[in-house]
């Protein structure tokens, strides 16, 4: 059974989640917390009197959405007998748009999501950008997280592949040229993303606004273009000051460069109880090798 529930777009006004000022990393600033859209996947059929396990919160990567993790969320809910919340991060999917897009604000949105839905001791799973968001939440608020699964990213400052800038340019071209058909958009994008699976992934964000003959991206391309450099950063610099001393699994694609061996000592300083599993595939390892990824996740969580 798939139960879809979506929070209303906008800023939280619940007393526990209103706009607040808090100290974050090294400076104090007002943090704008957004209500995140999500899908809830529960195991089916649910047996009489069955007590489900602790929740899993699944965070997608840059240009992705909760839809990317639908199949994996269903499989994990089924195999682990745990509810899985697949979340749209700000400026993605059905969640609200905001010009501020950095790991501080992304993490605050997720922390608010956990508080608002009263999710205790969840597992956070995040891919790429979502991995850094999950790591940030775990390091900021260890009591709120039971364990962590970071997929193909590390807690380091590391430049994004130049491909991401190309994807942005391609998406802008699609809107500027006024593409009317998916095939027209795909043809424009070929110059920026030769690989068909990547084009298909990016074009999942393409929609036709009501009453318009032109296609538009549902993600705010300009906001995300302005945020690319911030997505390469990691907000914590000194593992002597903050540490997540609970189990953590780092899954990396064997053909990806985002988790080079040189990052492992840094991972170990921030996450001293970490494990690493290599899965055959590239950066989009969840979709490229779903069975191997699922096996790694299930085995890790069944140890707990």
Q: What are phi and psi of 67, to 5 degrees?
A: -65, -30
Q: Greatest CA separation found in the chain? A: 57
Rounded to the nearest 10°, the torsion over CA 279, 280, 286, 288 is -170
Measure the CA–CA gap between 14 and 298, rounded to whole angstroms.
35
Active-site residue numbers? 128, 283
Residue 120 has phi, psi (to 5 degrees) of -105, 140
- Mark residue 77 as left, alpha or beta (left: phi above 0; alpha: psi -120 to 50; beta: remaining): alpha
Spatial distance between the Cα atoms of 303 and 124, rounded to a whole number of angstroms: 16
Determine how many CB atoms are found less than 10 A away from the CB of residue 263: 18
């Amino acid at each position: 059974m798939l139960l879809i529930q979506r929070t209303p777009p906008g800023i939280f006004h619940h007393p526990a989640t209103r706009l607040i000022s808090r100290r974050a990393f090294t400076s104090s600033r007002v943090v704008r917390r957004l209500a995140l859209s999500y899908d809830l996947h529960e195991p089916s059929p649910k047996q009489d009197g069955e007590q489900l396990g602790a929740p899993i919160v699944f965070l997608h990567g840059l240009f992705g959405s909760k839809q990317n993790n639908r199949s994996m969320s269903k499989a994990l809910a089924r195999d682990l007998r745990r509810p899985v919340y697949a979340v749209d991060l700000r400026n993605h999917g059905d969640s609200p748009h905001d010009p501020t897009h950095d790991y501080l604000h992304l993490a605050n949105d997720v922390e608010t999501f956990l508080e608002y839905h009263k999710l205790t001791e969840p597992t956070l799973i995040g891919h790429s950008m979502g991995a850094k968001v999950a790591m940030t939440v775990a390091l900021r608020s260890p009591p709120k997280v039971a364990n962590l699964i970071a997929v193909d990213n590390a807690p380091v400052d590391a430049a994004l592949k130049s491909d991401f800038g190309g994807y942005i340019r391609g998406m802008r071209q699609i809107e500027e040229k006024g593409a009317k058909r998916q095939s027209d958009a795909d043809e424009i994008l070929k110059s920026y993303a030769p690989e068909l699976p990547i084009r298909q992934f990016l074009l999942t964000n393409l929609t036709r606004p009501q009453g318009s003959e032109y296609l538009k991206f549902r993600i705010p391309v300009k906001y995300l273009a302005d945020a690319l450099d911030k997505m390469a950063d990691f907000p914590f610099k000194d593992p002597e000051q903050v540490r997540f001393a609970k189990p953590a699994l780092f899954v990396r694609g064997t053909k990806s460069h985002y988790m080079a061996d040189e990052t492992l000592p840094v991972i170990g300083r921030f996450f001293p109880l970490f494990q690493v599993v290599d899965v055959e595939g590239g950066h989009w390892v969840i979709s490229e090798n779903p069975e191997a990824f699922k096996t790694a996740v299930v085995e890790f969580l069944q140890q707990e």
